[in-house]
């Protein structure tokens, strides 16, 4: 395993899982309100794990995972992308680095066979498509089949007051219309060694991605557990639509991830993109020392 702490490093981590190679790239860091990231947890507790800046924001990552199985190249999540307004870029300070990050990792967008979005919030599917200098929206991964949950697209289309800012239709509608995106209804096998499973709570149809090779198991759990600071089942986010469901689903996840020694891939942890989870002497889930 090779976690990389350097803040500006374009290649965040690379490891092997059985016969597969797993690479973590990034669209760069961005900032969100620390209170929103930790819900009802008091600030004196969360800021020990995630220090806040003078605007109360904490630093987050936009981790994209590339799995090379030998037969397929699979890309999980596509960061924030280049379609944000100037004002949004000012707010989030996102860096639009995924193309450079993939290049630094030696990955050509044309070689990607499969793209999986855990859900369709803008910070998870932004580079599904690219806004060109001519103002056109084109698929970033021309040879890929994209996979997302049908219920996520439908939820995005509803444009509810609570979360309409999270859904930018240019990230998925053009792919749905051209039929380059397959809309799933529940758990599914995507290709040999890669499958998706619903873990609702953050949204109703959030899907985790399981990667399994030669007896080893990794899981991209996405916003159910966005960073290694969110391992306590009750430390759910203000953003979560169904916090009680989140707590139950985190417990369900940990009941497998800990004893079965899954490699957990964190979507928004810029410093710790992957790690194993163990129970400490107080029976709390924590990151294993590696």
Q: What is the smallest separation between the CB atom of 80 and Zn ion, expressed in angstroms?
A: 11
Q: Which is nearer to Zn ion, 207 or 213 (CB)?
A: 207
Binding mask 101-130 for Zn ion (x = CB under 5 A): --------------------x---------
Q: What is the 3-state secondary structure (H, E, C) of 168-180?
A: CHHHCHHHHHCCC
Please, what is the minimum distance in Å from the beta carbon of residue 223 to Zn ion? 4
Going by C-alpha positions, the residue among 182, 88, 72, 80 that lies closest to residue 129 is 80
Q: What is the largest CA-CA distance in the chain?
A: 58
Binding mask 201-230 for Zn ion (x = CB under 5 A): ----------------------x-------
Per DSSP, the three-state class of 221 is: coil
Which residues touch 84 (CB under 8 Å, ≥6 apart)? 92, 94, 122, 126
Q: How far is the CB of 206 from Zn ion (least distance, A)?
A: 7
Of residues 113 and 197, the one with the C-beta less far from Zn ion: 197
Smallest distance from the beta carbon of 93 to Zn ion, in angstroms?
18
**Rounded least distance, CB 290 to Zn ion, Å:** 27
DSSP string, 92-141: H-----HHHHHHHTT--GGG--EEE-SS--HHHHGGGEEE-TTS-EEESS
Query: Shortest Cβ contact with Zn ion: which residue?
Result: 121
Kindly give the pairing relationship between strand 274-275 and strand 285-287. unpaired
Number of residues located near Zn ion, criterion CB under 5 A: 2
Note whether 155 binds Zn ion by CB under 5 A. Answer: no
Q: Choose between 14 and 57: whose C-beta lies nearer to Zn ion.
A: 57
Residues that bind Zn ion (CB under 5 A): 121, 223
């Amino acid at each position: 395993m090779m976690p990389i702490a350097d803040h500006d490093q374009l290649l965040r981590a690379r490891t092997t899982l059985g016969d597969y190679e797993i690479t973590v790239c990034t669209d760069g860091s961005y900032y969100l309100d620390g209170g929103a990231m930790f819900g009802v947890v008091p600030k004196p507790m969360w800021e020990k794990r995630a220090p806040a800046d003078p605007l109360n924001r904490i630093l987050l990552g936009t981790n994209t995972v590339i799995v090379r199985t030998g037969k397929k190249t699979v890309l999980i999540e596509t960061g924030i992308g280049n379609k944000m307004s100037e004002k949004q870029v000012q707010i989030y300070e996102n860096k639009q680095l995924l193309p450079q990050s993939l290049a630094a990792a030696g990955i050509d967008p044309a070689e990607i066979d499969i793209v999986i979005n855990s859900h369709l919030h803008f910070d998870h599917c932004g580079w599904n498509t690219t806004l060109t200098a001519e103002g056109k929206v084109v698929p970033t991964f021309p040879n890929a089949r994209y996979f997302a949950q049908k219920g996520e697209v439908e939820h995005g289309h509803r444009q509810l007051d609570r979360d309409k800012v999270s859904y930018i239709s240019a990230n998925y509608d053009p792919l749905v219309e051209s039929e380059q995106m397959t809309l799933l209804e529940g758990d599914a096998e995507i290709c040999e060694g890669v499958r998706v499973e619903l873990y609702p709570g953050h949204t109703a149809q959030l899907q985790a991605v399981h990667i399994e090779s030669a007896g080893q198991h990794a899981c991209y759990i996405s916003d159910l557990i966005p960073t290694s600071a969110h391992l306590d089942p009750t430390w759910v986010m203000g953003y979560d639509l169904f916090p009680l469901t989140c707590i139950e689903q985190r417990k369900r996840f940990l009941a497998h991830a800990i004893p079965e020694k899954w490699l957990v891939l964190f979507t928004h942890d810029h410093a710790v993109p992957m790690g194993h989870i163990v129970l400490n002497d107080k029976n709390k889930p924590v990151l294993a020392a590696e």
